[in-house]
Amino acid sequence: MLTILGFGMIATFLVLIMLKKMSPMAALVIVPALFCVLVGKGSHLGDYVLKGIGSLAPTAAMLMFAIVYFGVMIDVGLFDPIVRGILRFCKADPMRVVVGTAVLAAIVSLDGDGSTTFMITVSAMVPLYRRLKMSLVIMTGVAAMANGVMNTLPWGGPTARAATALKLDAGDIFVPMIPALAVGLLFVIGLAYVLGLRERKRLGVLTLEQALGRPDGEPEPEQALIGSAGTGDVPARKAAPAGAGSTASGTATGSAADAPMANGGDAQEDDASSEILDPRRATLRPRLYWFNAALTVALLTLLILQTLPIPVLFLLGAAIALTVNFPHMPDQKARIAAHAENVLNVSGMVFAAAVFTGVLTGTGMVEEMARTVVDSVPDAMGPHMGLVTGVLSIPFTYFMSNDGFYFGIVPILAEAGAAHGVSPLEIARASLVGQALHMSSPLVPAVYVLVGMAKVEFGDHTRFTVKWAALTSLVVLGAGMLFGII
């Protein structure tokens, strides 16, 4: 019964948010509360919620101050040269922009923290997507998949959890998986290339200087692929050829129809992206550029070295950044107010997710769901428990936290595999397969940073990303089997 109710609760939540019948925050709270009552443990709801909030409170604190920190860095112009450099490298070509998103997210993911990766990637790429009228859902999807593949680094979390749960060495798990993970990352970049070609086909042609918002008095620039013909306040130098799928309103058509614009054509957001690149905005601090760059590098270095807890590092970083860049109290208040919306949205979603995870775990639904699925595996599949583990990791790491999967499910799978001669190392490696999809799970706080800062509806992100992320996970699994790793 608990198994049915558990799957029912997850299905109800996903249907409600994907059909946009409820906001994710409301669904994360109301759906588990109702199912907790159906299970007959309504009197324990408060305990489950408080336990869930207690486990996620440090994450919420980290995200709160990290958003303030990176928000201030955007305000003072730290990322302006990066944005302009990327745009010039991409030559305003949507295909290059999407591929650049995947590469940037993969590189920044080397720090091992998904939230930081998404903040940096979104900060650098959102102005480009909005200025060029590109679909922000493509950006969030590609960034999430690239980060998911790279999240398997030994210091990223899943590998360390698998090693701890099965009492193995993290290096023995990760190093042999590198070829399969490399194939997965190449697949993400290849997918980004295809999605970028779709965007290029949908959009018209603009000059690079027009994309950068250069005044009309500048010398005649070269032409480059981008921009939505006749959309917003960005003039079009040349419309897309007839039949290329471009429309005057910038609405997605043809093969790009499954990637919602996600406010990408909204005039207010276009103005906001112009403000980010405005070289005359009042919040710029050019004399403090190298101080801010050094502060950011130091912060990320300390984060990787785990010198202090991550929430403490971002709390200190935000305080220093505000004090040095905006020494006057009214200016500090203005900067905090400017980023309050993102802070509230993300931290609120984290605490709402705590209700979902608290009920799912506290009522015992997770354990029953896991045992039901594992017990349903035919005995004939025993010698192939590596393959079974890889396949099961895709839905399990999406519907539950990494802690729940690696400490609750993986040991059971390893025990079943050992009875048929499958080594724990093979099980541990196979358990990493689902991470490409895991990073878009509604139970992962970092995904709310991604969609919140990009101002993308979580339901839109889910509809667009899940199929591609699941396919990426299957590619990693197939490569692992082909190379004899799994």
pLDDT in tens, 39-73: 888 888 888 888 888 877 887 888 788 888 888 88
> Above 60 in pLDDT, residue 269?
no
* Weakest-pLDDT range from 12-16, 86-90, 435-439: 86-90
pLDDT band at 157 (very low <50, low <70, confident <90, very high): confident
CB 203 within 8 A of CB 105: no
> Above 90 in pLDDT, residue 402?
no
CB 191 within 8 A of CB 166: no
Mean pLDDT to the nearest integer, 221-226: 38
Q: Which two tokens stand for residue 315?
A: 């709390």
Query: What confidence tens digit (pLDDT) does each residue in 409-443 have?
Result: 888 888 888 878 889 899 999 999 999 999 888 88
**For residues 155 and 310, what is the distance between their CA atoms, to the nearest angstrom?**
14
**For residues 190 and 468, what is the distance between their CA atoms, to the nearest angstrom?**
12
**Secondary structure class of 86 (helix, strand, coil):** helix
Phi, psi of 275 (to 5 degrees): -65, -40
Residue 185 has what pLDDT? 94
E strand or H helix that includes residue 226: none
Residue 256 has what pLDDT? 44
Rounded to 5°, angle at Cα 184 from 367 and 481 = 70
**For residues 58 and 36, what is the distance between their CA atoms, to the nearest angstrom?**
25
Residue 168 has what pLDDT? 85
Residue whose tokens read 């050094």: 294
Rounded to 5°, angle at Cα 156 from 415 and 164 = 30
Residue 146 has what pLDDT? 94
What percentage of the chain exceeds 90 in pLDDT? 24
DSSP single-letter state for residue 225: E
What percentage of the chain exceeds 70 in pLDDT? 83
**For residues 226 and 186, what is the distance between their CA atoms, to the nearest angstrom?**
25
Higher local confidence (pLDDT), 261 or 204? 204
Mean pLDDT to the nearest integer, 309-332: 91
**For residues 152 and 402, what is the distance between their CA atoms, to the nearest angstrom?**
12
pLDDT band at 464 (very low <50, low <70, confident <90, very high): very high
Q: Which two tokens stand for residue 411?
A: 């040991």
> Above 90 in pLDDT, residue 473?
yes
> Above 90 in pLDDT, residue 252?
no
State whether the Cα torsion 16-18-20-26 is positive or negative. Answer: positive
* Weakest-pLDDT range from 85-99, 139-153, 233-247, 357-371: 233-247
Residue 242 has what pLDDT? 37
pLDDT band at 208 (very low <50, low <70, confident <90, very high): low
- Cα torsion through 26, 32, 35, 41, rounded to 10: -130
> Above 50 in pLDDT, residue 240?
no
**Secondary structure class of 217 (helix, strand, coil):** coil
Residue 141 has what pLDDT? 95
pLDDT band at 275 (very low <50, low <70, confident <90, very high): low
Phi, psi of 364 (to 5 degrees): 85, 5
**For residues 379 and 394, what is the distance between their CA atoms, to the nearest angstrom?**
21
pLDDT band at 207 (very low <50, low <70, confident <90, very high): low
Mean pLDDT to the nearest integer, 171-189: 92
Q: What average pLDDT does the structure give for the chain? A: 79
Higher local confidence (pLDDT), 274 or 251? 274
Q: Which two tokens stand for residue 262?
A: 């996600």
Higher local confidence (pLDDT), 146 or 254? 146
Residue 181 has what pLDDT? 93
Residue 292 has what pLDDT? 93
Residue 241 has what pLDDT? 41
Mean pLDDT to the nearest integer, 111-115: 73
CB 432 within 8 A of CB 168: no
